[in-house]
Every structure is written in C-alpha cells, then in structure tokens.
Amino acid sequence: MTSGAKTGPSWLTAVGSPETATVRGYNFGDSGALVAAARQGIGVALGSLVLAGDDLHAGRLLAPLRTAIPAADWVVAMTAGALAKPKIQLFLDWLDQEARITRADLAPWALDAAPPHAIREP
C-alpha cells in the first residue's frame, strides 16, 4: 500500500531496485488512511514516517527495514516586490519557525531513535 503516486518508485530506487519494479496494491490519496489500513492489518504501508511515528513507538506497527527516503522539497516562491512587504516577511519568519519546531518534533521519530521493538532487522 502506498500514499501518493511517487512513493513506491522513489523508495524502490533508494534501495537499488530495478526501475522496472512496480508497487502493486492500494494507493491511498490520504496518508493517514494508509497508516490506519496498515494498523488494521490490511497490508504493508510504504508511506510517511511522520504519520507512522506514534504507531511505531507504541508497538502497533513495525518498521521491517531501516531504509527511509527524504520527503520531497517544498519551495516558497514569490516576486522580489512581495519580499519587501512586511506581512510577507512576517509569514516567512513564521514559516521558518514552524519548520524548526517540526524538525525538532520529528527527531525522536527517526528510525535510529525508534525503540528496539519497533524495528525488525532483515
């Protein structure tokens, strides 16, 4: 089971699988639904570590492989004139602060920080 059209191929490429490999099964448009389906035993989820973090730490889900791929980069784009506006600068400052908070919040959910019962070595 995957969430998003590019999750499966990106992960397969990261682990050195041939480009001809395909991921079959359910493809959820909602990553939360993907994790919920895995939690219910419907299949194996290939999706967001962020959304699966609580379930991994609680032992409801296991991460059978240590391979994770970085999330796609997002970019903020605007005209040079917009950058000079105080409201835009406030928004960018807020966005930067939220990104820092999120990175700090996610650090304990990294696979290397997961409790031993959450990871099964191959």
47, burial (CB in 10 Å: exposed 0-12, middle 13-18, buried 19+): buried
Is 99 within 8 Å of 74 (Cβ atoms)?
A: no
Q: Which amino acid is at 37?
A: A
The mean pLDDT of 58-68, rounded to a whole number, is 77
**Domain boundaries in the chain?**
2-118
User: How sure is the predictor about 4, in pLDDT bands with cuts at 50, 70 and 90?
Assistant: low
Both structure tokens of 27:
């493809």
Report the pLDDT averaged over residues 89-102.
88
**Bigger pLDDT: 69 or 4?**
69
pLDDT above 90: residue 87: yes
Mean pLDDT of the chain: 73
47, 103 contact by CB (below 8 A): no
pLDDT tens profile 6-49: 555 566 676 676 665 565 666 767 778 888 988 998 888 877 77
- Reported in sequence order, the residue ranges of the chain that DSSP labels E, i.e. its strands, are 2-3, 27-28
